[in-house]
Amino acid sequence: MSGICSSLETTEKLLCYHCGDPCRDIPIHVYDKDFCCEGCKLVYEILKENNLSNYYSLNANPGDKSIKTRNAARYEFLDDEQVLQKLVSFTDGTETHITFLIPQIHCSSCIWLLEHLYKLDMGVKRSTVNFLKREASIVFNEKETSLRKVAELLNRIGYPPHISLSNLEKKKAPATNMQTYYKLGVAFFCFGNIMLLSFPEYFGLSSVFEGRFVKTFGYLNILLSLPVLLYADIDFFRSAWNGLKQGRLNMDFPISLGITVMYSRSLYEILSGTGAGYMDTFAGLIFFMLTGRMFQNKTYERLSFERDYKSYFPVAVSVLKNGKEESKAVSDLHHGDRILVRNGELIPADCILLKGDAAIDYSFVTGENIPVPKQSGDRIYAGGRQAGSAIELEVVSEVSQSRLTQLWNEHGDSEHKENELTSIVDKVSYVFTLVVIAIAAAAGGWWIWKGEVHTALNAFTAVLIITCPCALALSYPFTLGNSIRILGNQNIYLKNTRVIEKMASIDTIVFDKTGTLTKAGDAEYTWHGSPLNTTEILAVASLASSSQHPLSRVIAGIAEESTRPEVSNFEEIPGKGMSGIVIGMMIKAGSTTFAGNGNSTGNSRRSEVHVTINSTYKGFYEIRGVYREGLKTVTNALSENYNLHLLSGDNDAEKESLAEFFPDSDKLHFGQSPANKLQFIKNLQHQGNHVLMAGDGLNDAGALFQSNVGLAVSDDTNNFSPACDAILDAKSFHLLPMFLKFSKYSMNIIYVSYLISLLYNCIGIWFAVQGLISPLFAAIIMPLSTISMVLFTTTATNLIGKLVFRDVPGQAQIKADKSHQLS
């Protein structure tokens, strides 16, 4: 006992050797090292035995902090042949290839360890990590090991693979990315060669050259431009056509018009021998625009913004058949199947309880995380999580028919969200197209009136060619693409470039409380009353560990699982408290009426757990959520320009402490269910507000989806966030006002760049209407405008990024930290 006492004094400094978490009050001290829990110690032992301690020398405390429940995951279903077939990417009976998503991959130690899997399992032939995608591709010999064994091994060493229902349904995302690379390569190849063959034209050598060269070069140019016309630029035409079908003139329409006219005129000039054409400009512009598109589409591969319930659902469940336990794919569950759900497992379909003590935690669906007890014969809806011993259920409806699935599909139409705000690009291109066509027609009409039909045609086409809005089209992707990168350096990850535009138009911000303004799972406790000794603390902690109530979990966290003594005669009265016998002491813990001395502390709203040991009242734990650092500055800064609201699923216990951040108490809303939250956002939008919702959990999923910008705040971006527009790393939460400011500046940069490109167009049109555009002129002004636009937008965004984030540890600093972590 003295050992425990001495280590109690040094709790402040001890960090777990494996995961780096601060050890709890009583750490595990073995091999001269401290561990926060059994799980961490176990991983250390496995690695030490297999001579893989290098894992710990590459990085200090490389283990993942978020994985504390290692044994919860079960992988029996991987023995199922059907499941196996759907998961593996290749198998010939002996050699099998599988790619696992492992969200815990976060440092070079992870890469090293996962690529040395063969040391832990002889059957593994090869394993390769893709760090950015958080994936490990594993090749193993099916004769020596099995998929299940590999998965269990990964789970044992703290890298549980994430296998969910969505893995089974869609095998792999189509390789659209590859297509972009191909197109870019083809465009560049053609552009370079066409330009080379156009050089005689640039230097006016065509008259010196023999005629046959001019002709040959012209034909070669046509040949080289074909791949660009038929392959590389096809997306622009497709998008313009889709826009037209919906009755919209998007930015790709004037582009398509411009390049079509440019190509036809070049073809005519070369074939008729009247000129050299604009093939070089044509190929060059396509190349530049593809680059812009690539820049815009470069997003965060490792983050997924589109998660629905399927990503959270297990792949398989245990089915009872003739008294035997079998594994069955969730998608094959039918009415009447009997399933077995263990502690911590998710209920995949609407069921009826047959046997066992069910306590269902519906936090996944409702946000309320106090488990609801159920009697046998009760209906249990999909999405609940069993807390307690294993239960037996009978399935009443298939997974796709369950109430949860329907709930999800209700607000699952993404159409409205994309159309709700017409992008600035579309607005500008609409006006632009009309004006350009008007000018072209006017110029053509003028020359016809003058009686010069040839010049009329010349001027008409020249206007369309010279105004091809490539610079215009490039400013948006380059500005916002670069902005996304700058924001990413500050730990906010956006789904796409449109989000910045939407962020700039926000006028109302709604916060969720738990997990967003407070740290998830982190609560402060203070003991009020007569001091407890170590044995008593341990006893209370182990009593609390038997309960699933959120307050109990905080108290249970005081002591490590293995140090907790046994509890007997445990009894829990919902809404009141619990009692039990620990090390011969009769302990009661709970509300003041149940376990207290009846005297209220005067503040009934506070979260308190009173403790009575052997009928002597000892005192109470006061439990408070911990607010994020800098919350006050954030709310102060934001309240100047935005309407702030707070939505919480909890009761109003923290109303007073929140008043410090939200002075206007009308805007604090407590006891909000997920449906309430969704409705609240809808109402705000009906009043004409543009709403940013900051939330964290699945209970905010509806609200995040409905809002104009759904911002998921996450303590660990490797974890799964609900479907959203942006993921904010919680450690950058205090930068939120700057992010919004920066998005506004980014939009301003776009406006300025539109003005510049308009200026270029005015110069071009001035010459074009007079019919004075030569291929050389086009070959100079078009790339010039394009490149200057790219330079302007990237420099401007970089500068503004530096200005806005100048007070934050610079990007260089963060990068240095990252590389330090990885070196």
Partner 1 sequence: MSVLFLLIGISLLVATGFLIAFIWSVKKGQYEDDYTPSVRILIDDTTPEEPKP
Applying CB under 8 A, the residues found at the interface with partner 1 are 51-54, 56-58, 108, 111-112, 115, 128-133, 177-178, 181-182, 185-186, 189, 192-193, 196-197, 210, 213, 216, 220, 822-823
Q: Which residues contact 600 (CB under 8 A, 6 or more apart)?
A: 592
Please tell me the distance from the alpha carbon of residue 454 to that of residue 472, in angstroms, as a whole number. 30
CB of 264 to partner 1, least distance (A): 25
Torsion sign (Cα): 32, 33, 37, 40: negative
Q: How far is the CB of 186 from partner 1 (least distance, A)?
A: 7
List, in sequence order, the alpha helices (H) in 273-317: 279-297
State in angstroms the smallest separation of the CB of 97 from partner 1: 13
Closest CB to partner 1 among residues 54, 683: 54
- Minimum Å distance from CB 159 to partner 1? 15
Taking the complex as a whole, the smallest distance from the CB of residue 291 to partner 1 amounts, in Å, to 15
CB of 720 to partner 1, least distance (A): 21
Helix (H) or strand (E) holding 782: helix 775-804
Kindly tell me which of 182 and 241 has the beta carbon lying closer to partner 1: 182
Residue 741: name the closest of 419, 490, 475, 519 by CA: 490
Task: Name which of 181 and 766 has its Cβ closer to partner 1.
Answer: 181
Residue number, 145 or 180, with CB nearest to partner 1: 180
Strands 643-647 and 607-613: unpaired
Find residue 728's DSSP bridge partners: 492, 713
What are the Cα distances from residue 583, in Å, to 207, 284, 534, 587, 651?
A: 105, 81, 12, 10, 35
Min dist. Cβ of residue 444 to partner 1 (A): 38
CB of 794 to partner 1, least distance (A): 20
Each as own residue / partner, the long-range contacts of residues 662-665 (CB below 8 Å, 24 or more positions apart, any chain) are: 662/635, 663/639
Q: Can you tell me whether residue 161 is helix, strand or coil?
A: coil
The residue (of 119 and 379) whose beta carbon lies closer to partner 1 is 119
How many whole angstroms from its chain centre is CA 431? 35
CB of 717 to partner 1, least distance (A): 16
- Decide: helix, strand or coil at residue 281: helix
How far apart CA 680 and CA 5 sit, in angstroms, is 51
Residue whose CB is less far from partner 1, 45 or 656: 45
> Judged by CB, which is closer to partner 1: 186, or 768?
186
Q: With respect to partner 1, which residue has the nearer C-beta, 780 or 816? A: 816
Q: Could you tell me which of 203, 121, 101 has the C-alpha nearest to residue 162?
A: 101
d(CA 539, CA 528): 17
Pick between residue 147 and residue 186 the one whose CB is nearest to partner 1: 186
Strand ranges inside 673-773, DSSP E: 691-695, 709-714, 726-729
Residues ≥6 apart with Cβ < 8 Å to 818: none
**Least Cβ distance, residue 664 to partner 1 (angstroms):** 46
Q: With respect to partner 1, which residue has the nearer C-beta, 213 or 670? A: 213
Burial label for 630, CB within 10 Å (0-12, 13-18, 19+), is: middle
